Amino acid sequence: MITLLIKLASLLAVVLLLTAYLVLIERKLLGRFQLRYGPNRAGFHGLLQSFADGIKLLLKEDIVPAGADRFIFIYAPAIVAIVPLLLLAVIPFGDTSILMGKEIPMVIANLNVGVLYVLALSSLGVYGVILGGWAANSKYSLLGAIRATAQMISYELALGLSLVPVVMLAHSFSMVDIVNAQARYPFILVQPVAFIIFIISAMAEAKRLPFDLPEAENELMAGFHTEYSGMRFALFFLGEYINMIALGALVAVFFLGGWRGPLLPPVIWLLLKILLVPFLLIWTRATLPRLRYDQLMHFGWKFLVPVALLNIVFSGGIILWMGS
Amino acid sequence: MNAYSAIFYLLAVIITVATALTITSRNLVYAVVYLIISFLGTALLFYLLGAPMLAALEAIIYAGAIMVLFLIIIMLMQIDKQEGVASLFNQCFFVIAVAGTAFSLVLLLLYGNSGSFFPLQAAMATPGQFGAFIFQKYWLAVEVVSFLLLVALVGALYLSRTNSEKSAYGGKR
pTM, two decimals, is 0.83
SS3 helix, strand, coil % of chain B, rounded to 5? 80, 0, 20
Rounded (10°) angle between helices A230-255 and A114-135: 160
Q: Is residue A7 situated within a structural domain? A: no
| One domain for residues B56 and B107 | yes
A113 touches chain B (CB under 8 A): yes
**Average pLDDT for runs of 10 along chain A of length 324:** 83 87 88 86 82 87 83 87 88 76 75 86 86 84 84 87 89 86 85 90 84 76 79 86 90 86 82 88 87 85 91 90 78
Report chain A residues whose CB lies below 8 A from the CB of B56: 113, 116-117, 119-120
| One domain for residues B111 and B153 | no
A137 touches chain B (CB under 8 A): no
Cβ within 8 Å, pair A149-B71:
yes
Residue window 67-96, chain A: list those with CB within 8 Å of chain B: 69, 72
pLDDT at A306 (0 to 100): 92
How many CA atoms, within 13 angstroms, populate the side-chain half-sphere of residue A277?
A: 30
Report chain B residues whose CB lies below 8 A from the CB of A149: 68, 71-72
Q: Is residue A26 situated within a structural domain? A: no
pLDDT at A101 (0 to 100): 67
Tell me: the pLDDT tens digits for A218-233? 777 777 778 888 888 8
By C-alpha distance, the chain A residue nearest B58 is A120
Domain count of the fold of chain B:
2
By C-alpha distance, the chain A residue nearest B37 is A124
pLDDT at B88 (0 to 100): 63
| One domain for residues B112 and B76 | yes
**Which DSSP category does A102 fall into?**
E
| One domain for residues B161 and B100 | no
Can you tell me the distance from the alpha carbon of B94 to that of B100, in angstroms, rounded to the nearest whole number?
10
Q: Is residue A18 situated within a structural domain? A: no
Can you tell me the distance from the alpha carbon of B25 to that of B22, in angstroms, rounded to the nearest whole number?
6
**CATH number for the domain harbouring residue B12:** 1.20.120.1200
| One domain for residues B96 and B23 | yes
Can you tell me the distance from the alpha carbon of A70 to that of A64, in angstroms, rounded to the nearest whole number?
7
Number of neighbouring beta carbons within 10 Å of residue B2? 7
By C-alpha distance, the chain B residue nearest A156 is B65
How many CA atoms, within 13 angstroms, populate the side-chain half-sphere of residue A161?
A: 24
A123 touches chain B (CB under 8 A): yes
Confidence of residue B79 (pLDDT cuts 50, 70, 90): low
Host domain of residue A222: 63-323
Q: Among candidates A108, A94, A93, which has minimal Cα distance to A3?
A: A108
A146 touches chain B (CB under 8 A): yes
Tell me: the pLDDT tens digits for A84-136? 888 888 888 877 777 776 777 777 778 888 888 888 888 888 888 888 888 88
B36 touches chain A (CB under 8 A): yes
Q: Is residue B132 situated within a structural domain? A: no
Q: Is residue A13 situated within a structural domain? A: no
What is the pLDDT of chain B when averaged over all its residues?
81
Whether B172 has a pLDDT exceeding 60, the answer reads: no
Question: Measured between CB atoms, which of A124, A149, A173 is closest to B72?
Answer: A149
Number of neighbouring beta carbons within 10 Å of residue B126? 17
Q: Is residue B131 situated within a structural domain? A: no
Cβ within 8 Å, pair A120-B126:
no
A131 touches chain B (CB under 8 A): yes
B66 touches chain A (CB under 8 A): no
pLDDT at A311 (0 to 100): 92
Q: Is residue B69 situated within a structural domain? A: yes
| One domain for residues B113 and B169 | no
Whether the complex's predicted ipTM is more than 0.95 is answered with no
pLDDT at B133 (0 to 100): 84
Q: Is residue A273 situated within a structural domain? A: yes
| One domain for residues B104 and B166 | no
Q: Among candidates A15, A8, A28, A127, which has minimal Cα distance to A75?
A: A127
A294 touches A150 (CB < 8 A) = no
| One domain for residues B19 and B59 | yes
Q: Which residues pair with A102 in a beta bridge?
A: A99
Annotate A9-39 with three-state secondary structure: HHHHHHHHHHHHHHHHHHHHHHHHHCCCCCC
pLDDT at B173 (0 to 100): 42
Interface mutation vs chain A, best among B32, B53, B67, B75, most A CBs within 10 Å: B75
Cβ within 8 Å, pair A120-B71:
no
Host domain of residue B173: 138-173
| One domain for residues B58 and B117 | yes
Can you tell me the distance from the alpha carbon of B143 to that of A309, in angstroms, rounded to the nearest whole number?
18
Q: Is residue A44 situated within a structural domain? A: no
Report chain B residues whose CB lies below 8 A from the CB of A214: none
**Which DSSP category does A221 fall into?**
T
Tell me: the pLDDT tens digits for A298-318? 888 889 999 999 999 999 899
| One domain for residues B109 and B144 | no
pLDDT at A312 (0 to 100): 92
Interface mutation vs chain A, best among B30, B72, B77, B79, most A CBs within 10 Å: B72
For residue B49, give Cα distances in angstroms to A311, B52, B54, B98: 35, 8, 10, 29
Report chain A residues whose CB lies below 8 A from the CB of B65: 123, 153
Report chain B residues whose CB lies below 8 A from the CB of A111: 52
**Which DSSP category does B6 fall into?**
H
| One domain for residues B111 and B30 | yes
Q: Is residue B16 situated within a structural domain? A: yes
Cβ within 8 Å, pair B126-A149:
no
Cβ within 8 Å, pair B52-A111:
yes
Handedness of CA B48, B52, B58, B60 (dihedral sign): positive
pLDDT at B154 (0 to 100): 92
Confidence of residue B148 (pLDDT cuts 50, 70, 90): very high
Domain count of the fold of chain A:
1
How many CA atoms, within 13 angstroms, populate the side-chain half-sphere of residue A231?
A: 8
Cβ within 8 Å, pair B127-A113:
yes
